[in-house]
Structure 1
């Protein structure tokens, strides 16, 4: 039997902010990304760069954080 590989993709930051009343600061998103990285999450959807300047800032912070 071939070994199966499972990859985990997290959409917390993208989907979570679609909830009414939920808005995360770039620093909060970086904190979440670091926690997900520590848990071994393979792919993190940080957000959509076309949404806002704050979203672009968060994506830049996360992509430049040296996460695995």
Structure 2
């Protein structure tokens, strides 16, 4: 299992997770699991997050 990072801030009943923070299954409490937060788009594998950032940057350069 790879390293996960917060891509959209979110909070559980007891914790807040800002963008850019590393997160593991142990960090997550409440009804939703880490996999649920990934499906909702708030958490991504580091490799996926890097690819998305590169695509966004390429789109910005092409549009500019």
Tell me the TM-score normalized by structure 2. Answer: 0.33
Tell me the TM-score normalized by structure 1. Answer: 0.31
Higher strand share: 2
